[in-house]
Amino acid sequence: MLRKDKETVVQQATSMLAETEVLFLSDYRGLTVAELTELRAKLRESGATLRVLKNTLARRAAADAGREQIVPLLSGPTAVTFCADDPVAPAKALVEFMRTHPQLELRGGLLQGAVVNLDGVRALSSLPPRDVLVAQVVGTMAAPLTGLVTVLQGSISGLARALQQIVEQKTAAGEA
């Protein structure tokens, strides 16, 4: 690889490392090109991209991007999964792919600036998707409000019934 090409790769990797808050590193040794293409497609569906990087260039890019935490994970052939907004979907895709392709070895990753190991990635993959989590939080917040509305509605309708009974009693007393 020419020096100019290496500099371009480092610049691209630096910008990708600086822009993403979640990434996973794995050893892809033993996977065929077709299997890597399949993994890339699954990750693309979940909003992530997989890049194979040379460790020397990745170390330089990590230093330039201020992501030195990942340097210990850069050994052997390295594939870096850059995640967009939702870190759960790519983690699920990687863990599921590992079940069917044991050659893929997930080393760990970076989650909001903290290094996570393989167990951390597996725990992340067991979470429900982001949309489901948001819906659960909204449902939890809405439940007390719904209960309050029901109680208030019950009190108002009870008051209305009581007033109606008073009116009926007065009209019945006035007629008699």
pLDDT tens for each residue of 61-76: 888 888 888 888 888 8
Read off the tokens for 164: 């109606």
pLDDT above 90 for 166 = no
Task: Report the alpha-carbon distance of residue 115 to residue 133 in Å, rounded.
Answer: 23
pTM: predicted TM-score of the whole model, two decimal places: 0.68
**Per-residue confidence at 120, pLDDT binned at 50, 70, 90?**
confident
**Cα angle at 82 between 15 and 120, to 5 degrees?**
130
**Per-residue confidence at 36, pLDDT binned at 50, 70, 90?**
very high
Which CATH code fits 3-127? 3.30.70.1730
**Mean pLDDT across 108-116:** 85
**Structural contact between residues 134 and 56, judged by C-beta atoms closer than 8 angstroms:** no
pLDDT above 70 for 148 = no
**Structural contact between residues 97 and 52, judged by C-beta atoms closer than 8 angstroms:** no
The residues, ordered by sequence, that sit 6+ positions from 7 with a Cβ below 8 Å of its Cβ are none
What's the confidence (pLDDT) of residue 35? 93
Where do the domains of the chain lie? 3-127, 129-176
Burial 87-105 (b: 16+ CB within 10 A, else e): bbbbbbbbbebbeebeebe
Q: Give the number of other Cβ atoms within 10 Å of residue 116's Cβ.
A: 19
What's the confidence (pLDDT) of residue 12? 87
What's the confidence (pLDDT) of residue 42? 92
